[in-house]
Structure 1
Amino acid sequence: MNGITLIGLSLASVVFLSLVHVLADMLRWKHQLPQKYWLSFADGISISYVFLGLLPKIIDGTAAFPDSLGYAADIVKHSPFLPLMIGLVVFYGMERLVEKSVDASGSHITHETTRLRVWIHLASYAFYKAIIGYLIVQMNNPVSIAIFVISMAVHFLVVDYRMMEIHKEVYQRIGRWILTLAILVGWVVGATTVISPVLVTLLLGFLAGGIVLVVLEEEFSREHPSSFPAFVTAVAVYMAVQISI
């Protein structure tokens, strides 16, 4: 495929992903199918994509780091999942920050502090979505783009559910539009700038860490049940598709 066609395909993909948050509440099956089934299925697809789709790319990318980076290249080559760990830790820190914790005296945090944490949470997810829009531009294989888009669309439903559960009023009013815009902004940046393969690899690792954290939090959450059969089914389906491709 030529460059113009790939750009058009990536733009269509980003527009589709940007609509997921806007249209998520209109999906009838979300209301008809118990949450534990579709959430666990979505989590299974997401985690499968990390291990079968992203990690091989990260390993290949880190192995190709130029020696001109010096000691940093040696560190990443010997620890290719370091960006993944950093991404997981950063997003975990953000999640902890937005929790409505109780101080030592037993009184709840102030309304102003809560609002600040809501916006920090939205900002972290906006950055997360911008990375996804940014990375789509770098893909030059239609099949890879399709797998990535489908995996991310399913993952976005989990993120949408989580944000609705935690910040319903703010998320419905403006949050989902911020995340929608963030994906488009990431695509524009990726389409108008020259991207270093090193940066792409680091962003893939960072993204993988964020996905793993979101999946683990949802699957091991005490607030809603999960379905191991649905999770395993999703993993099996993804593996079958990956092997066939």
Structure 2
Amino acid sequence: MPLTLFRFILAAGFVLLHLFSKNMKFLRDSPRSRILSVAGGIAVAYVFLHLLPDLAEYEDELKGTLDFATNRFLEHHLYMIAMLGLAIFYGLEQMAKASKRHNVEDGRHKARPLVFWIHIGSFTLYNALIGYLLVRENFTSHYGRLFFFIAMGVHFVTNDRGLRATHKEDYDRYGRWLLAVAILAGWLIGTITEVSDVVISYLTALLAGGVIMNVMKEELPEERESSFPAFLLGLVAYSLILILL
């Protein structure tokens, strides 16, 4: 299969997941569906066994090649950008939850409109980044790209449920469409243009931090009643697949 067509099929798959994940009625939020916990384990395994090792490779490749002082510093500290990605998404999540709590007191069970647009705007950029990396990440084969699709796909399903719980009908009316379009926008940008390895390394680092935060915020709260055995199963099984293949 031509590489361009394969990339488009995977991007279209991401879009379909966003548009139709709401119809997956078998996925419970509380007690948390074991399938969602398995999905969290898969996403975390991919971050630690693929994305973070990629950062180490980028650091080696970029050493001594950058001109600006900031870039020279960051070429040795890409993990700081991953940490920044985690912090950004943590802050956005806290903002959205605080807004929802405030509105619940007023009889509304969703975040304020301004908070909704800020929150969804951040995930729009997040999705565009994933669409771009689907094209421009240095995968060694179709299998590598397919494993990226699986890990990010199950991650999207988890994110959709969290965003829908926070923003209710606003997410279904506007949010999921924006996130679906963002995937295609990232794919298109990656198809028609290419940015430097420096930018790719920064984007990969931000993505790694964001994925870790977005998985943990869904798995850790006590009220979720998440399944650790299911999370561990996803983590171990996908780790073995990545290591063997």
Q: Give the TM-score normalised by the residue count of structure 1.
A: 0.88
Instruction: Report the alpha carbon displacement of residue 36 of structure 1 after superposing the two structures with TM.
Output: 3.6
Aligned to 1:194: 194
Gaps of 5+ in 1: none
Q: Is the 8 A contact 2:31 2:226 kept in 1?
A: no
Q: Does 1:239 align with 2:239?
A: yes
Aligned to 1:158: 158
Q: Does 1:30 align with 2:27?
A: yes
Aligned to 1:177: 177
Q: Render the CA deviation track for 1:76-105: whole Å, top value 9, x for unaligned.
A: 2432311101111111222222223578xx
Other structure's SS at 1:7 match: helix
How many correspondences in the alignment? 238
- Residue 155 of structure 1 aligns with an amino acid whose one-letter code is H
Segment of structure 1 superposing worse, 129-138 or 80-89: 80-89
Q: Is the 8 A contact 1:125 1:179 kept in 2?
A: yes
Q: Does 1:14 align with 2:6?
A: no
Q: Render the CA deviation track for 1:157-192: whole Å, top value 9, x for unaligned.
A: 110110111111101112111110010011111111
Aligned to 1:116: 114
Match of 2:55 among 54, 58, 64: 58
Aligned to 2:205: 205
Q: Is the 8 A contact 1:84 1:209 kept in 2?
A: yes
Q: Is the 8 A contact 1:127 1:182 kept in 2?
A: yes
Aligned to 1:72: 70
CA distance in 2 between partners of 1:85 and 1:237 (Å): 26
CA distance in 2 between partners of 1:243 and 1:216 (Å): 23
CA distance in 1 between partners of 2:127 and 2:188 (Å): 13
Q: Render the CA deviation track for 1:30-53: whole Å, top value 9, x for unaligned.
A: 36x963412211111111110001
Q: Does 1:138 align with 2:174?
A: no
Q: Render the CA deviation track for 1:53-84: whole Å, top value 9, x for unaligned.
A: 10011110122115233433442243231110
Aligned to 2:217: 217
| Aligned residues with identical type, % of pairs | 34
Gaps of 5+ in 2: none
Q: Render the CA deviation track for 1:109-148: whole Å, top value 9, x for unaligned.
A: x99x811001111111111000000111114521110010
